Amino acid sequence: MIIQHLTRATLATALMATFSHAALAQTPEDVQVPDGHTVALETVGVGAIKYMCETNDSGDVAWVFKGPSAALNDSDGNQVGSYYGPPATWEALDGSKVTGTQLATADNGEGNIPLQLVEANPAEGEGAMTGVSYIQRLNTQGGVAPDTECNADHEGATAIVTYQADYNFFMAE
């Protein structure tokens, strides 16, 4: 993998778009970022989520989430980072990355993974992810477990489901 080195300012400039207060107002309260934080980076994640047909924590055979793999793109569609896991990790092309703890989710309609608010752990490495305090997932499209059969006869089957979502990265003001 080739890693392009970008300064934090360059990446932030490449990703900054007009963040509409109307869009913030339409965001469900559960996944709104606390006051005192501002959008530093805006990306669109385009990728896939892996599920496996296996026995879940309840003892049922069902589709179990295994993790995402997505490109994080700027508003022009240029890749500026990656999202993968577990653990859920957002990594800029400069090598800086964050993991986080989910704080809340909100439904986004049938067939779409939920909206999400994550509190970021301190960044690893210096770069675009340094100082990120929260990550907000909005405008999700797709990504839910498949509706194909998953039972004891299919145990071990893998399903890859495509999805897209906006990932907004916030820093303390």
Backbone φ, ψ for residue 109 (5° rounding): 90, 160
For the stretch 23-61, pLDDT in tens is: 444 899 999 999 999 999 999 999 999 999 999 999 999
What's residue 152's pLDDT?
A: 93
Whether 43 and 11 have beta carbons less than 8 Å apart is answered as: no
Give mean pLDDT, residues 10-14: 38
Q: What is the pLDDT of residues 148-173, one digit of tens each?
A: 999 999 999 999 999 999 999 999 99
The whole-model pTM stands at 0.84
Does residue 16 carry a pLDDT above 80? Answer: no
Confidence of residue 11 (pLDDT cuts 50, 70, 90): very low
Q: How far is it, in rounded angstroms, from Cα 52 to Cα 37?
A: 37
pLDDT tens per residue across span 64-117: 999 999 999 999 999 999 999 999 999 999 999 999 999 999 999 999 999 999
- Angle (CA) 74-123-112 rounded to 5° is 50
Reply yes or no on whether the pLDDT at 5 is more than 60. Answer: no
In this prediction, residue 14 carries a pLDDT of: 38
**Virtual torsion, Cα 128, 130, 131, 135, nearest 10 deg:** 60
